[in-house]
């Protein structure tokens, strides 16, 4: 009996699953800078062929989280502090521009949506990865409301680097879950007041404090 080949859709689904798993391991520092990612070992772990693994690695390389060295394989990239400063600066620029667009037309319903995300940071008592997901959801929501597609694309490319950097920094700066909750609660309260310049300055300070 001829073996059935996986459909294109199932390959995409497998690729995304592997990509998310590897990205999370990189973000959590389970895969450290310089670590080699062996394609055959990842495929064996998931019980799949190497094709979706190869596609996942290609996607992570496009994000800058891994690099491929000819004849040697794929390796987790190093964290470059100078590059991280520019990544955070770019993120701050995108978010403050988005805020200038959305704040004049922000509805109570929108503010309520942000409060809901922030409430989940507190009441869910999340582990780091979940709280990090909620942090990104909060900021991604603001970017998406701007309806500027290029902002969303660039911002999505930056998030893996940002989360990995914060994880690496966390033991030194001791970012506490209750502080993350309060930071974001204060940001929503400022947004509710509607002063564009004040909100932009608060967001810029919130974003850039990690690379000061």
* pLDDT at residue 169, as a whole number: 73
* pLDDT at residue 132, as a whole number: 81
HEC sequence for the chain: CCCCCCCHHHHHHHHHHHHHHHHHHHHCCCCCCCCEECHHHHHHHHCCCHHHHHHHHHHHHHHCCEEEECCCEEEECCCCHHHHHHHHHHHHHHHHHHHHHHHHHCCHHHHHHHHHHHHHHHHCCCCHHHHHHHHHHHHHHHHHHCCCHHHHHHHHHHHHHHHHHHHHHHHHHCCCHHHHHHHHHHHHHHHHHCCHHHHHHHHHHHHHHHHC
* pLDDT at residue 86, as a whole number: 95
* pLDDT at residue 1, as a whole number: 39
Stated length of the chain = 212
Chain segment 67-104, per-residue pLDDT in tens: 999 989 999 999 988 999 999 999 999 999 999 999 99
* pLDDT at residue 151, as a whole number: 96
- Mean pLDDT in order along the chain per 10 residues (212 residues): 49 84 90 94 93 93 92 93 93 97 95 95 69 90 96 91 82 68 95 96 93 82
* pLDDT at residue 28, as a whole number: 84
* pLDDT at residue 210, as a whole number: 83
Rounded Cα distance between 161 and 63, Å, is: 8
The whole-model pTM stands at 0.80
């Amino acid at each position: 009996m001829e073996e059935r080949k996986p459909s294109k859709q199932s390959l995409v689904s497998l690729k995304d699953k592997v990509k998310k798993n590897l990205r999370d391991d990189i973000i959590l520092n389970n895969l450290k800078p310089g670590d080699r990612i062996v394609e055959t070992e990842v495929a064996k772990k998931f019980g799949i062929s190497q094709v979706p693994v190869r596609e996942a690695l290609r996607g992570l390389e496009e994000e800058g989280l891994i690099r491929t060295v000819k004849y040697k394989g794929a390796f987790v990239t190093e964290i470059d502090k100078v590059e991280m400063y520019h990544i955070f600066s770019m993120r701050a620029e995108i978010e403050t521009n988005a805020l200038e667009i959305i704040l004049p037309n922000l509805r109570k319903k929108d503010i309520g949506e942000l409060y809901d995300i922030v409430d989940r940071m507190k009441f869910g008592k999340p582990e780091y990865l979940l709280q990090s997901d909620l942090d990104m959801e909060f900021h991604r929501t603001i970017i998406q409301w701007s309806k500027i597609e290029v902002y969303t694309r660039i911002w999505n490319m930056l998030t893996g680097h940002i989360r990995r950097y914060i994880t690496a920094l966390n033991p030194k700066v001791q970012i506490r879950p209750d502080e993350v909750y309060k930071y974001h609660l204060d940001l929503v309260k400022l947004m509710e007041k509607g002063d564009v310049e004040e909100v932009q300055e608060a967001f810029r300070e919130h974003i850039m404090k990690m690379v000061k």
